[in-house]
Homo-oligomer: A and B are copies of this chain.
Amino acid sequence: MTIISNNITEKVFNNDKKSISRTISKIETGNSNSIEILKELHKNTGRAYRIGITGPPGAGKSTLTNQITKFYRQQNKTVGIIAVDPTSPFTGGALLGDRVRMSEVGCDDGVFIRSMATRGSLGGLSRKTIDAADVLDAAGYDIIIFETVGVGQSELDIAKAADTTIVVLIPESGDSIQAMKAGLMEIADFFVLNKSDRPGADSAITAIRTILMFRNHDENDWTPTILKSIASENVGTKEIADEIELHKSYLLKNCIFQKNRQKNYKVRIKEIVEELIKDELWKDHRNKSLEESIVKVTTGETSPYQVAEKLFREFKSSV
């Protein structure tokens, strides 16, 4: 624990946006200092309500996030947004002259918007995103919204780590079937059918209802509803906020809130341990041992699984 990290921790507690940004950047690049900061921040976390907004590309997740944020701001609640979505305007900035539409809420002092890189070899996307949420939580934001594109396991993991997970769909043909295949149906606490003024809205709702009948029911009796919205015209925003409130009360009343958070801690701690082990595992000499074996794999003398088992034995005898 250094004086530097103490200073930055204090500044994060005071919602100093520059310090928040710097801390999240440290998390993203894997700077070891970030771990000390996160340890210090932890005691001040747990108060923010976390909302996951996910769905297929083009469903209007960012517009919806924008509207919900404005709604909470009118209630004087502060909002932190973390966008993990390669198709989100939040992640943008102007690219090659293509001016990406800027968020209406971006200049509000009670709003913090951050995008997380969805690629690159650094890995640990879901852990880093949740670490970043902890920073915003410790900084005192009342609401944290994860906006993630609903394709790919990491993105689903992030959406699932929220207290309330909203799946956004549109009336396009086949959209609900695709959502089911992508694993979106299982993680939704409720659905929003956005762009619901388009043709096919009612049959889309029927399709989602039918699929929901086949969903595995857990022990509790929460039934996901399907709300309609037209995010671009701010239609349905209040109903969505009400449904979030309803779900929150349900979680609290039935003691599921705390249980879910513990489940999320478990997933997260496991991921951290696995990363620590990987760092130890792939030190130079073991990488070299791997390199040397690969030629033999190419010639068919040995197989990937045999080499892996050998490296595993070597690792076990070394620690």
Contacts and interface: CB of A to CB of B under 8 A. Distances in A.
A281 interface: yes
B298 A261 contact: yes
A5 to B, nearest CB: 13
A254 interface: no
A102 interface: no
Given A183-B119, A312-B277, A42 B153 contact: no
Contact of A298 (B56, B265, B300): B265
A174 B315 contact: no
Contact of A153 (B119, B291, B315, B316): B119
Interface in A111-149: 118-120, 123, 125, 149
A246 to B, nearest CB: 24
B290 A266 contact: yes
Interface string A68-80: 0000000000000
Chain A interface SS verdict (over half)? helix
B125 A177 contact: no
B39 A86 contact: no
B270 A96 contact: no
A273 to B, nearest CB: 5
Interface stretch (A18-26, A188-196, A229-237, A303-311): A303-311
A102 to B, nearest CB: 15
Q: How many copies does the complex hold?
A: 2
Interface string A153-184: 11110000000000000000010011011110
A39 to B, nearest CB: 5
B272 A308 contact: yes
Contacts of A45: 300
A211 B312 CA distance: 42
Given A181-B86, A183-B118, A270-B290, A38 B305 contact: yes
Interface in A250-293: 258, 261-262, 265-266, 268-270, 272-274, 276-278, 280-282, 290-291, 293
Contact of A152 (B42, B155, B295, B298): B155
Contact of A303 (B38, B56, B280): B38
A304 B57 contact: no
Given A96-B177, A270-B290, 7 more contacts: A38-B303, A38-B304, A87-B181, A96-B207, A262-B297, A273-B308, A274-B278
Interface of A: 35, 38-39, 42-43, 45-46, 56-57, 86-87, 91, 95-96, 98, 100, 118-120, 123, 125, 149, 151-156, 174, 177-178, 180-183, 207, 210-211, 214, 258, 261-262, 265-266, 268-270, 272-274, 276-278, 280-282, 290-291, 293-295, 297-298, 300, 302-309, 311-312, 315-316, 319
